[in-house]
Structure 1
Amino acid sequence: MGFKYINEIATPDNINQLLTFIDHVAGAGTDVNEVFDISDLLRDSPQMERCLTWMREDAATAQMIEAQYLGSEYDLEKMLQMPEGSLGWTYARVMSALGYEPHFYRLRNIEKDADYVINRIRKTHDLHHILTGFSMDDFGEAGVLSVTVAQTGYPGWILINLLGMLLDFFGGPQDNGIDVEYDYDILSTGIKIGRDAKPLFPVKWEERFEQPLDDLRSEFNIQPVTEGQWSWYSRPQLRDAIALTEPTAV
Structure 2
Amino acid sequence: MVNVITCNPNKGLLTYIIKFLASSTLKTDDGNADPVFDFEDALDQTEMAQLAVNELKKNPEVNILFQERWLPEPYNLDQLSQLPEGTLGHVYAHKIRSTGFNPHFYKKVPVVDDISYLKMLWRSTHDIYHIVAEFDTDEIGEIGLQAFFIGQNPIPISAMIISFGLVMISLYQPNNFQYLMSEVIRGYNLGSQTSGKLIAQKWDQYWDVQLSEIRAKLGMEIEARG
Query: Quick check: 1:91–1:130 contact (8 Å CA) kept in 2?
Result: yes
2:14, 2:176 → 1: CA distance? 22
Matched position secondary structure for 1:100: coil
CA distance change for structure 1 residues 74 and 226 in 2, over 3 Å: closer, same or farther? farther
1:134 match: 135
2: CA distance, partners of 1:109 / 1:223: 36
Q: Which residue of 2 aligns with 1:189?
A: 186
In 1, are the aligned partners of 2:135 and 2:145 still within 8 Å (CA)? yes
Corresponding letter in the other structure for 1:100: F
Mapped contact 2:147–2:158 kept (Cα < 8 A) = yes
Q: Structure 1 length as normaliser, TM-score? A: 0.79
Contact preservation (8 Å) 1:109, 1:115? yes
> 3-state DSSP class of the match of 1:201?
helix
Q: Would you say 1:20 and 2:21 are equivalent positions?
A: no
Asked if structure 2 preserves the Cα contact closer than 8 Å seen for 1:86 and 1:211, the reply is yes
Structure 1 segment 144-159 matched on structure 2, within 5 A = 144-159=145-160
Deviation at 1:144, TM superposition (A): 0.9
Within-5 A mapping of 1:12-161: 14-26=9-21, 27=23, 28-29=26-27, 30-161=31-162
User: Are 2:207 and 1:209 aligned?
Assistant: yes
Normalised by the length of structure 2, the TM-score is 0.87
Aligned residues: CA RMSD: 1.8
In structure 1, runs of 5+ residues without a counterpart are: 1-12, 229-250
Pick the structure with greater CA Rg: 1
Gaps of 5+ in 2: 1-7
Counterpart contact for 2:87–2:208, Cα < 8 Å: yes
Distance 1:172 1:136 in 2: 16
The aligned amino acid for 2:211 is L
CA shift for structure 1 position 207: 1.0
Compute the displacement of 1:31 (Å): 1.6
Q: Structure 1 residue 192: deviation in Å?
A: 1.1
The match for 2:5 is none
What is the rounded CA distance, in whole Å, between the counterparts of 2:36 and 2:191 in structure 1?
21
Letter of the structure 2 residue corresponding to residue 40 of structure 1: D
Shift of residue 71, structure 1, vs aligned partner:
1.9
Q: Is the 8 A contact 1:134 1:225 kept in 2?
A: no
**1:96 Cα shift?**
1.0
1:178 aligns with 2:176: yes
Paired with 1:224 and 1:120, the residues of 2 have a C-alpha distance of 24
AA of the residue aligned to 1:193: L
Q: How far is 1:183 from its partner?
A: 3.3
Number of aligned residue pairs: give it: 212
Provide Cα deviations, 1:116-161, integer angstroms capped at 9, x if missing partner: 1001111111101100111011231111112222222111121011
Look up the SS of the partner of 2:105 in the other structure.
coil
| Cα offset, 1:73, TM superposition | 1.5
> For the Cα contact (< 8 Å) 2:72–2:125, is it kept in 1?
no
Query: Does the residue aligned with 1:43 lie in a helix, a strand or coil?
Result: coil
Question: Deviation at 1:227?
Answer: 2.9
For 2:127 and 2:55, locate their aligned partners in 1 and report how far apart those are by CA, in whole Å.
Answer: 23
**CA distance 1:132–1:112, change in 2 (3 Å):** same
Q: Specify the alignment match of 1:243 in structure 2.
A: none
Deviations 1:208-233 (A, max 9, x none): 110001110111022336535xxxxx
Whole-angstrom distance in 2 between the partners of 1:167 and 1:84:
37
